[in-house]
Amino acid sequence: MSLSNESNKKTPLEIAKGFYYSFFHNPLEETIKEYVHENAIWTHYGPLGFLPFYGKFYGQKGFVTWVTAIAKTTSLTDFIFERPFYIVENNIVHTHVLEGSITLKTKAKYAIENFHSLVIEDEKIKSFTVISETSTVIDAYINGISCQTKYEHIDYKIEENLDINKTKEIAKEIYKIIQKGKGDITNYVSDDIEIAVTGIEGSVPYINKYVGKEQAKSFVEKITPEVINFEGENIIADTNKVDIFSFLNGKSSTLSKDFYVPFNICFQFNKDYKVANIYIYNDNYLTSIAYKDSY
């Protein structure tokens, strides 16, 4: 009996994919029954009070509240969920996906890169966390500005499955360099490295796209002065990918204002264990406030 139960047990990735399919195709009650843990916590990062789906929502009722808030502000019939790729380790699934829709109030269209972190327990989602391009989302919902993300996050695929212990160590070294400014990032990245930080260019010194080793060094030079430290690091790896999720405790170099935001760095490696792609998700609206005299 136990062997049969084990063979029928769904993997965390199967549960994550099943949830997404059910969310878009099945009645909400069916999705809850099949995939939502009774003690689930749903966290959608963003400036509280701006949009009703930002915040923490608890349990199955909280999930309904979160979905209802999205449905009241967003045209779900026009909702996109494109080219997702996943990083899975143990019971944690990270989803990197292009999402977008049309806002009901302003009719603005937007398409943004989103990061989801799902923790699976008892074959259900116990925790669901979202980091999106909050500056772009708020521009669409509040200001009626349509926008397509400038920096797309494409799955960098290789045929080999790399040693995740080795890729984790390399990712940690780059993470330390970003935090402390000590060390040479070019030792760990490919010649054609691409680094992208989500957000609106000019709002924060390091929000931009960087290509090549020299620009990778420039990225470190721009971000390190803004970083006090990273807190609560959680690292997972799969195939040729590593995610480090943490909170950036920073201070703007221009106005000396503090900010504390969720921060996920996705590293994608080539077959030679060189990082070919770095993509950073953060609450860029809350970050940008620290660089403004008023808002």
Same domain, 179 and 144: no
Of 204, 167, 173, 199, the closest CA to residue 186 belongs to 173
What Rg value do the Cα atoms of the chain yield, rounded? 19
The answer, yes or no, to whether residue 25 has pLDDT greater than 90, is yes
For residues 266 and 278, the answer to whether their CB atoms sit within 8 Å is: yes
Residues 230 and 116 in one domain: no
CB atoms within 10 A of CB 106: 16
Q: Does residue 6 share a domain with residue 129?
A: yes
pLDDT score of 1? 46
Q: What is the pTM of this model?
A: 0.94
Q: Containing domain of residue 138, as a range?
A: 2-148
pLDDT digits (tens, 9 = 90+) for 219-266: 999 999 999 999 999 999 999 999 999 999 999 999 999 999 999 999
Query: Can you give the CATH number for the domain in which 8 is found?
Result: 3.10.450.50
At which of 95, 119, 148 does a domain end?
A: 148
**2, 167, 223, 279 from 241: Cα distances, Å:** 33, 8, 22, 11
Residue 294, domain member (yes or no): no
| Residue 78 domain-assigned (yes or no) | yes
Asked if 70 and 175 sit in the same domain, the reply is no
Residue 27 DSSP one-character state: -
Is residue 106 assigned to a domain?
yes
pLDDT value of position 293? 72
Q: Is position 281 within any domain?
A: yes
Query: How do 275-282 and 258-269 pair as beta strands?
Result: antiparallel
Mark whether 11 and 102 lie in a shared domain. Answer: yes
Q: Residue 32 and residue 60: Cα distance in Å, rounded?
A: 7
On whether both 178 and 218 belong to a single domain, the answer is yes
216 in a structural domain: yes
Structure tokens that stand for 289 in this block = 């406030």
Contact 95, 112 (CB under 8 A): no
Query: For 27-75, how does the pLDDT look when each residue is reduced to its tens digit (9 = 90+)?
Result: 999 999 999 999 999 999 999 999 999 999 999 999 999 999 999 999 9
Residue 44 has phi, psi (to 5 degrees) of -115, 105
Domains in the chain: how many in total?
2
Please write the tens of the pLDDT for every residue from 271-294: 999 999 999 999 999 999 999 875
pLDDT of residue 3: 52
* Residues comprising the chain, all counted: 295
Determine the pLDDT at residue 77.
85
**136 lies in the same domain as 68:** yes
pLDDT of residue 291: 94
Phi and psi at residue 180, in whole multiples of 5°? Answer: -110, -15
Beta-bridge partner residues of 113: 98
Whether 93 shows a pLDDT value over 70: the answer reads yes
**Is 29 within the bounds of a domain?**
yes
> Are residues 228 and 122 both part of a single domain?
no
CB neighbours (10 Å) of residue 26?
Answer: 15
Q: Do residues 192 and 268 share a domain? A: yes
| Secondary structure (DSSP) of 89-141 | ETTEEEEEEEEEEEBTTT--EEEEEEEEEEEEETTEEEEEEEEE-HHHHHHHH
Let me know whether 7 and 144 are in one domain. yes
- The reply to whether 156 falls in a domain is no
Domain boundary among 91, 117, 148: 148
Q: Judge whether 157 lies within some domain.
A: no
Tens-digit pLDDT profile for residues 190-206:
999 999 999 888 899 99
Q: Are residues 23 and 141 in the same domain?
A: yes
Summarize pLDDT for 125-159 with one digit per residue, the tens.
999 999 999 999 999 999 999 998 888 899 999 99
